Chain A
Amino acid sequence: MNLDAIIEALPSYVSGVGVTLQLLVVALLLGLVIALPLGVARASDKPWLSKPVWAYTYVIRGTPMLVQLFLIYYGLAQFEFVRESALWPLFSQAWFCAVLTFTLNTAGYTAEIIAGAIRATPYGEVEAARSLGMPRWKVLTRILLPSAMRRALPAYSNEVIFMLHGTSLASVVTVIDLTGAAREMNSRSYLPFEAFLTAAVFYLAMTFSLVAMFHFAEKRWLGHLAPRKSAPLIATSVPI
């Protein structure tokens, strides 16, 4: 294990981590903002609300993010009218194309997760709310959404991790994120182990932090569902 080469390349790795986190946070935040109304619409029983969202998530979930990225980055640039439009200064930047792709992608997946969680709400909760005379929107914000967000936690934690890994695709379209830094080191030094193991360690550190965050969140909001510790079978103190 060539530690010198790793130490020499560390600054580029750190800078890569910065880019990765940037991509991740922006995509997740924007994606969640878009996904909330989409998820509610998707879980609705009105077809004019749920069908369009269904079509969107269908396409997003049905195609690899790499294809979506290539379509946005290389595919759009193929067309003259895109290159001459007012939006070209944005689309010409790889970073923008990457964030756009990631945002659209996570919005699709998260909308489905939220919709699934809403649909899994125990009927009793809604029945109780309605019997108290709550109007529909209040039922949505006070009962359904909080309940659904809790239920969605394990699945959403998956999605956040997927997104973190997904950002590594940005390196394929010239963005120098963490994976990009590893690939540069690999191509300079021909040391794939050192290059990718270092990147793996950084990704692990980031993931560990995220997992800890979700662990804490689950403890707080899903604690009532943790495995039961068995009670002692024999009384440990006998009253005299």
Chain B
Amino acid sequence: MKVSMRNLCLPVILLAVFVSVASVNADAQTKKLRLGVEGAYPPFSELGPDGKLKGWEIDIANALCKEMKADCTLVQLSFDGMIPALQSRKIDAVIASMSITEERKRAVDFSDRYYKTPARFVVKNGVKLDISAAGLKGKRIGVQRATIYDRFLADQFKDVQVVRYGKQDEVYLDLASGRIDAALQDVVAAQEGFLKTPQGKNFGFTGPSYEDPKYFGEGAGAALRKGDTALREDFNRAIAAIRANGVYKKIQDAYFNFDIYGAAPVAPAAASTTAPAKK
């Protein structure tokens, strides 16, 4: 095949078309950031009736961007697609209640944490569930796929039937209809997203509060690409800044009446609708 003007034309034209259809993104000056969020994890991140994202985590993300003077776009993705999206540069950071764990640190870097809450099992009131390897044998426990709760169950409770869902909402749906015996997730998410709702009124917490950093990490932080130290420093500075200047407290008070940064609420305060199941 001769390398002539005619033969070069087609590939060049194709490339030009391709590049013009895609858009070239450069870093630096205007600091455009794409943040991955889930939009399916109330009260942290959910979709309102108007189709817009809302929630505590969304507010924090916007506050951090304002602090970093960055032009942020929130990209909605499924949770188990977050890290691949980060690695293939679809997004620059993940703000989706992603816990900082050693295992994840192998694939991504994390900023400092911006909140930390423990995990507990949720069961139907009156159901006696012995939270031990023997007691849970053969039981169906629901978790969201690729979360620390998923990992924890798979490692620590080998005889349990782990049922994985794409969204935490789906876990609650099947818990309410009785397809699973119990569910393991974050305490605050369960409280606000399920137990306080009409569907969750016959359910409550059971078992211990899990905080072991090995599985449950050191809290939730922003996940960043490995080696992206500049952005990581920016996030850390911003997190420290909003904690110092009161913006963090303001957002927190709008949603919770406890300290979500480091304290671990064992029995959530002001919960009048639920009684934790007796062990």
A contacts, CB < 8 Å to B:
74, 77-78, 83, 92, 94, 172, 174, 183-184, 186-188, 190, 192
Contacts and interface: CB of A to CB of B under 8 A. Distances in A.
A1 to B, nearest CB: 15
A33 B207 CA distance: 50
Interface string B148-179: 00110000000000011110001001100111
Contacts of A92: 177-179
Contacts of A187: 80, 145-146, 150, 164
Contacts of B84: 186, 190, 192
19 contacts: A74-B170, A74-B173, A77-B174, A77-B179, A92-B177, A94-B179, A174-B163, A174-B164, A174-B165, A174-B174, A184-B145, A184-B164, A186-B84, A186-B146, A187-B150, A187-B164, A188-B151, A190-B83, A190-B107
The 8 closest A-B pairs by CB, nearest first: A187-B146, A77-B177, A192-B84, A187-B80, A190-B107, A190-B83, A187-B145, A174-B163
A183 B185 CA distance: 20
Interface of B: 80, 83-84, 87, 107, 145-146, 150-151, 163-166, 170, 173-174, 177-179
A186 B81 CA distance: 9
Contacts of A190: 83-84, 87, 107
Nearest to B82: A190
A187 B179 CA distance: 23
B100 to A, nearest CB: 15
Given A172-B166, A174-B165, A77 B173 contact: yes
Contacts of B178: 83, 92
Contacts of B150: 187
Given A187-B164, A192-B84, 12 more contacts: A74-B170, A74-B174, A77-B177, A78-B177, A92-B177, A183-B80, A183-B145, A186-B80, A187-B145, A187-B146, A188-B146, A190-B84
Contacts of B151: 188
Contacts of B163: 174
A38 B87 CA distance: 50
Q: Is the interface of A mostly helix, strand, loop or mixed?
A: helix
B215 to A, nearest CB: 14
Contacts, number: 39
A166 to B, nearest CB: 17
Contacts of B107: 190
A172 B178 CA distance: 18
Nearest to A186: B80
A83 B80 contact: no
Contacts of B173: 74, 77-78
B278 to A, nearest CB: 25
A154 B131 CA distance: 55
Contacts of A77: 173-174, 177, 179
Nearest to A174: B163
B255 to A, nearest CB: 27
A184 B162 CA distance: 11
Given A172-B166, A174-B165, A187-B150, A83 B177 contact: yes
A219 B107 CA distance: 51
A192 B146 CA distance: 13
A187 B170 CA distance: 17
B225 to A, nearest CB: 12
A226 B7 CA distance: 37
Contacts of A188: 146, 151
B253 to A, nearest CB: 34
Contacts of A94: 179
A69 B84 CA distance: 27
Contacts of A74: 170, 173-174
Nearest to B80: A187
B262 to A, nearest CB: 28
A101 to B, nearest CB: 16
Contacts of B177: 77-78, 83, 92
A175 B83 CA distance: 24
Nearest to B154: A188
A78 B169 CA distance: 13
Contacts of A186: 80, 84, 146
A183 B78 CA distance: 12
Nearest to B106: A190
B151 to A, nearest CB: 8
Nearest to A88: B178
B106 to A, nearest CB: 8
Nearest to B165: A174
A192 B77 CA distance: 15
A82 to B, nearest CB: 9
